[in-house]
């Protein structure tokens, strides 16, 4: 009996793995949908709130671009640093 059970589990293992992968994909898709909805709400809410308070978006965008530029300049040497022995999957 134990041998039959082990054979059955061995035969069903690929199907179980496939189903687990499908469930993980569904959870990931639901999470991404929620993130997308929150992002859309924020895209609509933040500019309208700033306009109500009289804050110009151009000033904020210039600040964001400046911070991103400084961060990119600071991180560029690290990103371009070539590490030996790496594997490229192309």
pLDDT digits (tens, 9 = 90+) for 56-65: 778 778 888 9
What six digits make up the tokens of 51? 């306009």
pLDDT bin (cut points 50, 70, 90) of residue 34 is: very high
CA angle 8, 15, 3 (to 5 degrees): 10
Backbone angles phi, psi at 56, to 5 degrees: -80, 135
Helices marked H in the chain — which ranges?
A: 2-53, 57-80
Among the residue ranges 16-20, 28-32, 86-90, the one predicted with the least confidence is: 86-90
Given the structure tokens 């990103």, which residue do they identify? 79
**Predicted TM-score (pTM) above 0.75:** no
pLDDT bin (cut points 50, 70, 90) of residue 48 is: confident
Which conformational region is residue 85 in: left (phi greater than 0), alpha (psi within -120 to 50 degrees), or beta?
A: left
Give the pLDDT of residue 2.
78
The CA–CA distances, whole Å, from 71 to 37, 42, 58, 76 equal 28, 24, 20, 8
């Amino acid at each position: 009996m134990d041998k039959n059970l082990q054979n059955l589990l061995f035969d069903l293992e690929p199907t179980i793995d496939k189903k687990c992968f499908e469930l993980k994909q569904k959870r990931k898709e639901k999470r991404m949908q929620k993130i997308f909805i929150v992002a859309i709400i924020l895209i609509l809410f933040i500019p309208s709130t700033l306009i109500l308070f009289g804050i110009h978006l151009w000033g904020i965008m210039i600040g964001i671009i400046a911070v991103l530029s400084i961060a990119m300049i600071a991180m560029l040497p690290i990103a371009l640093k070539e590490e030996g022995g790496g594997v490229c999957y192309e």
